[in-house]
Structure formats: C-alpha cells, structure tokens
Chain A
C-alpha cells in the first residue's frame, strides 16, 4: 500500500459521500442547473482524479515509510485547538488562552512553572488588551469576568 493509493481511496470515498448527500437537493438540468448540479459535477471530477491517482499510485512511497515522530505534539496542539472551540465562549478568552498556553508550555514542553505562568499570563492578557481594548474586537468574557 502506497501513500497515493490510500489518499486516492479516501478522496474517492469523500466524492461518493458528497454525491450521496446531494441527492436531497434538486439536480436541475444541463441547461438549468439546480443547487446539486455543480457539487455533483465537482464530486465526479474529484472521483475521476482519485481514480487516476490510484492507478498511478504504485510509484509513490510506501505507507510504512512515513514518519510520525511528532504525533504526540501534533495531538496535543490539535486537542488545544478543539478545547478552545468549546471553552472560549464558556470560560472566556483570557482563561481559555491561559489554560491552553500553560498546558503546552508546562506539560508538553516541560518548561519550569515560573516561565510557564509568566509566559501564559502575559500573552493571554496582552493579546486581550491589544485586540479588545485597543482594536475593539469583541472577545468573550467568562463567568468570572475574564
């Protein structure tokens, strides 16, 4: 199994998924396309490209040759992003960013407590001052007022 063959398979499945979901919308005609027309056309093109990639995929590197050494950090960063989605409007901007930064600097990068706290506080409060106070960008306040 090569990288191209796996990715072609995923792209093909995605194209078929789009075609399936588009069945709920009117397709229209060639002369009067409906809301599903262009998505189905694009999904068909994507499927075609995926099939071509599948056929030419034997020359790509093997899947086992891919290195995933950074997966732990990547997972931690992705988890922080997802955490901020749910927390930013519940806990407020500053607290969310403080927790996110402290997690990354202290627990993931294993820096000292003092550096982690100073860095997290100054960046979360400083960015809030810049965007909210100076630039008047609305940022959510948490239940604790920050």
Chain B
C-alpha cells in the first residue's frame, strides 16, 4: 500500500504539471462536445485528435485521448436527457427516465445527477483500476466464447426486469432487435444475410441510426403535431439542483452502477455497452415502487450513467495491464502508445511507472475537470428547452440527420434512421417498448458469434457451456433470474381460487 501511495504521488506530480493539465482539459472539452453531438462518438473524437497527439510526449498524448473518451461518456447524457436523442448506445437507457424528468421540469437535477454520478463512478472505478488491474486482468483473460455467450444471454435476460409493461411484448421486441442484428455478412461463413444487394448493409445495421430513429425521431413524430405543444416545464433557477430526496434516492444507484459498470467493463470486447442496460434493470428490480420507472425516476438516470462511466475505467484494465484492447477505443489508444515507442502490457507498470501512474492520476484530475465543466453548463444546456417547440423539433431533426450521417458518411444510415423512426412511432402508439430492440440489436452479433465459436471449439457439443465454471455460474444466475421474473405469473395462478372467494379449507372435508 505504501508503494502504491508513493507511486500515486509520482503520478499526481506528473498529472498536475501545467502542460499535462492543459491537455487533460482540452481532451475533456472535446470529449464533452463529441458526446453531446449525436453520431460523433468517442472513437471519432479520438481519431480526430490522434494525429495531433503525435507531436506530444507520451503522457500528454495518452492523457488527451483518455480525456476525450470519458468526456464523451459525460456528454452523451445531455442530449439523452434534454431531447431524448441518445448520443451513443450507452446513453439509450438514460433517455427513458431522463427525458421524463425534463418534461416534469427536472432537467437540471437530471443533468446534475448524471454529472455527479459519472464523477463518483469515474473516480471510484479509477481506484479499482489502480488497485486491481493485474488480478482483474488475469480474470478477464479467462473469458472465452462460452463465457461470453453466457454473459450476453444474461444481459438479454435482464430484459425481464427492464420494462414496466408487458414482458411478452418486451421479449417480442428483443427478438425483433436480435433479428435486425442478423442483417449483414455472417462472420463465420461470409454469406450475406438480408442485405438485398445493398453494400452498406453488408456491415449490418448500425446502432446509432437505430437508436436515434427509435428514440429521437419517433419522439418528434409523436409530439410535433399535438394540438397542445408537449408539456416541457421550463425550469426555474432554483430547480437546477437536485432536491434532498433526489440526492438520497440517487446514492445507492450510483454505488451499484459503479460496481456493476466496472465489473462488466473489464471483460474484453464490447460487453461494456450493456452496463447501462444491466444497471437500469437492477435498479428497477430493487426499487420499492418500480412503476415510477419510465415516468421520471431519478434512479433510472443515476444508475445507468454511473455504470457507463465506470465501465469506461474498467475497459482500461486489460489495455494497461496486459496490452489487450477491450474494444476499438482502447485499441486506438494502444496504437497511440506504440507510436510513442511504448508497449502496454505487464511490464508497463515497472518500466514506465511515470506513464502508468500519470495516466491513473490524470483520470482523477480529468473527472474533477469534467465535473467543474459540466455543472455550470447545466444551466446553459437547460435553456435549450426555452426554444419554442415548433422551432426546436426541426433543429432536433437536423441534428438527428447530421449525427447519423456523420457516423459512416452514408445516406443509407439516414434511411435506416427514418425507417426506425416510423417503426418507433408505431411501436409507441401500440404500447410497445423500444429499448429492448436496441439491446437486441447490440447483442445479436456477439451472441451468435460466441455461440457458434463455442460449438466450433467443442465440435458441436453443448456441454461446453456447463463444463466451464464461469459460463455455468452465469447461466445458473440467468436461470434464477428468469424463474424469479416468472414468479408473479405463477403466484397469480395459485391465487385464483382465493380471489374467487373459494374456501379451499372445506373442500377436503366434502370429498
């Protein structure tokens, strides 16, 4: 522990150097901006500034790029809360309760809790990163295709806890989302599936056009022509901060989201995207009055936002400790390190302690910078709501089109967004939830790939899923969750006789 504290001292002396501090600030500002703007995700932001980082020293370069990454996590919540447009997949769950809070005049507290929850989660998870990187990385290495399949199946099962409406309808929507995820080239055999000759569909349907269409576009399709303008209460100055009750309601969700997000984030691959979905489902399951979810429950903002920020730090664990990228963004950062002649891996801590500990310390500093940057901006962002809705929704439509086009430079993506917008409009009219479609779309390629890889490993033997301890434990947890979710139905059928007033105690005597 003494060594760790000493190393942290070295790290802070590096991170608080004026030049490094400046780059942390620039990275956070750019990250927040790219997070706010739909379509421009952290990967695009990092790629934009990667060439600019070549001329910097290694520590400044990594600090700059990391600032963009977690700045984007902060920024993504802003459009989700204010306009129901998810900046990226990780912000989808924040749209649901965050936007409802905005409609009730609580946009300020929603943004503030998102910023503070992200700060707490980011800071605590950095501590986790600092103390647990090597052992956690070793654990993460034990994840193979069977473990992935079990984890992702577990992620799907949390759907049972995500929705307030009919579970049957949610499952149907998840199946629909999974089917949409089947579009594109089959990664195992190279067959084109359901692409109908469109080259752009060869890579599959992107999450951003679907999420922006299902959430953002469908919202303006539903609300623009209402006889009375959608009631979005204009926030007063004194309402910009959360109330005491909102603070109290947020504490445990922030804590749980932090732990969940960190644990999910360390797993190599894109599983960290599901951290916000899992957090939302957990908060809903644990709430005393789950019917508040979907109608402006602050826990529905605090948990997912904390989880996705915490997953960001978790995603750095395999990158720093083992040199293994857990996704495209850490992969770009590894490339940036290698440009500066640094090889991330187990020897990084011993060979380049000032870089490793400087990076850790800069994450503490970056979280403080983001909090200082975002809290005052809450008042500015919230003023967007003062724009009359007949002018606001065309602007929202412009940003939807622009954001979706910016992802791949493809007009086909705008078409997908339009189709999803129409679908989302109809689904909401017919009382279906749209979040399970997005979750299904995200998970589909990963689930199928891991299933088929597992079967290839075991020559078609399904016992591989029970022979591997981590996979079998996760499948058991999933089964338990599924049975728990069916309990209300089972209890209802047992209870029918009592509800009809039949005295079951006397029936035995009659017979």
User: Which of A21, A35, A127 interacts with B186 by CB under 8 Å?
Assistant: A35
User: Which of A29, A35, A111 interacts with B191 by CB under 8 Å?
Assistant: A35
Interface size class of B (residues with CB under 8 A): 35 or more
Contact B179 A3 (CB under 8 A): no
**Given A69-B225, A74-B425: A49 and B175 within 8 A (CB)?**
yes
Query: Closest A-chain residue to B406, C-beta based?
Result: A137
Q: Could you tell me the distance in whole angstroms from the C-beta of A140 to the nearest C-beta in chain B?
A: 8
Contacts of B44 in A (CB 8 A): 137
Q: Could you tell me the distance in whole angstroms from the C-beta of B251 to the nearest C-beta in chain A?
A: 37
Contact B451 A33 (CB under 8 A): yes
Bound Cα distance from A105 to B175, whole angstroms: 38
**Given A81-B414, A81-B418: A70 and B179 within 8 A (CB)?**
no
Contacts of A34 in B (CB 8 A): 189
Contacts of B459 in A (CB 8 A): 31
Contact A123 B225 (CB under 8 A): no
A144 within 8 A of B: no
Q: Number of residues in A with C-beta < 8 Å to the partner?
A: 66
B233 within 8 A of A: no
B405 within 8 A of A: yes
Residue of B169, B189, B429, B432 with highest tally of chain A CB at under 10 A: B169
Q: Could you tell me the distance in whole angstroms from the C-beta of A106 to the nearest C-beta in chain B?
A: 10
Contact A124 B179 (CB under 8 A): no
Q: Which of B35-50 contact A (CB under 8 A)?
A: 37, 40, 44, 48
Contact A85 B460 (CB under 8 A): no
Residue of B393, B418, B459 with highest tally of chain A CB at under 10 A: B418
| A114-143 interface bits toward B, Cβ cutoff 8 Å, 1 = contact, 0 = none | 000001000110010001000111110000
Contacts of B220 in A (CB 8 A): 77
Bound Cα distance from A63 to B47, whole angstroms: 49
Contact B451 A38 (CB under 8 A): yes
Bound Cα distance from A38 to B183, whole angstroms: 12
Bound Cα distance from A35 to B402, whole angstroms: 34
Bound Cα distance from A43 to B180, whole angstroms: 11
Bound Cα distance from A66 to B180, whole angstroms: 27
A95 within 8 A of B: no
Contact B398 A100 (CB under 8 A): yes
Contact A56 B422 (CB under 8 A): no
Q: Could you tell me the distance in whole angstroms from the C-beta of A3 to the nearest C-beta in chain B?
A: 5
Contact A72 B225 (CB under 8 A): yes
**Given A25-B191, A82-B418: A124 and B430 within 8 A (CB)?**
no
Contacts of A123 in B (CB 8 A): 394-395, 398
Query: Closest A-chain residue to B47, C-beta based?
Result: A136
B380 within 8 A of A: no
User: Which of B166, B179, B227 interacts with A39 by CB under 8 Å?
Assistant: B179
User: Which of A6, A32, A105, A131 interacts with B406 by CB under 8 Å?
Assistant: A131
B342 within 8 A of A: no
Query: Closest A-chain residue to B182, C-beta based?
Result: A39
Contact B193 A139 (CB under 8 A): no
**Given A33-B451, A136-B48, A138-B409: A100 and B397 within 8 A (CB)?**
yes
Contacts of B429 in A (CB 8 A): 3, 66
Contact A78 B422 (CB under 8 A): yes
Q: Which of A75-89 contact B (CB under 8 A)?
A: 77-78, 80-82, 84-86, 88-89
Bound Cα distance from A89 to B405, whole angstroms: 11
B417 within 8 A of A: yes
Query: Closest A-chain residue to B414, C-beta based?
Result: A85
User: Which of B179, B227, B393, B415 interacts with A46 by CB under 8 Å?
Assistant: B179
| A60-73 interface bits toward B, Cβ cutoff 8 Å, 1 = contact, 0 = none | 11000010011111
Contacts of A104 in B (CB 8 A): 393-394, 397
Nearest 8 CB-CB pairings of A with B: A73-B225, A31-B460, A70-B225, A81-B418, A35-B186, A49-B172, A46-B175, A109-B390
**Can you pick out 11 interface pairs between chain A and chain B where the beta carbons lie within 8 Å of each other?**
A18-B179, A29-B460, A31-B460, A33-B451, A35-B193, A49-B168, A53-B169, A56-B168, A70-B221, A119-B394, A137-B40
Apart from A25-B191, A119-B391, what 11 extra A-B contacts exist at CB < 8 Å?
A3-B429, A25-B186, A25-B193, A26-B189, A35-B193, A46-B172, A61-B431, A70-B225, A73-B221, A105-B394, A139-B405
Binding site for A on B (CB under 8 A): 34, 37, 40, 44, 48, 166, 168-169, 171-172, 175-176, 178-179, 182, 186, 188-189, 191, 193-194, 217, 220-227, 390-391, 393-395, 397-399, 401-402, 405-406, 409, 411-412, 414-415, 417-418, 421-422, 425, 429-432, 448, 451-452, 455-456, 459-462
Binding site for B on A (CB under 8 A): 3-4, 6-7, 11, 14, 18, 21, 25-26, 29-36, 38-39, 42-43, 45-46, 49-50, 52-53, 56, 60-61, 66, 69-74, 77-78, 80-82, 84-86, 88-89, 93, 97, 100-101, 104-105, 109, 111, 119, 123-124, 127, 131, 135-139
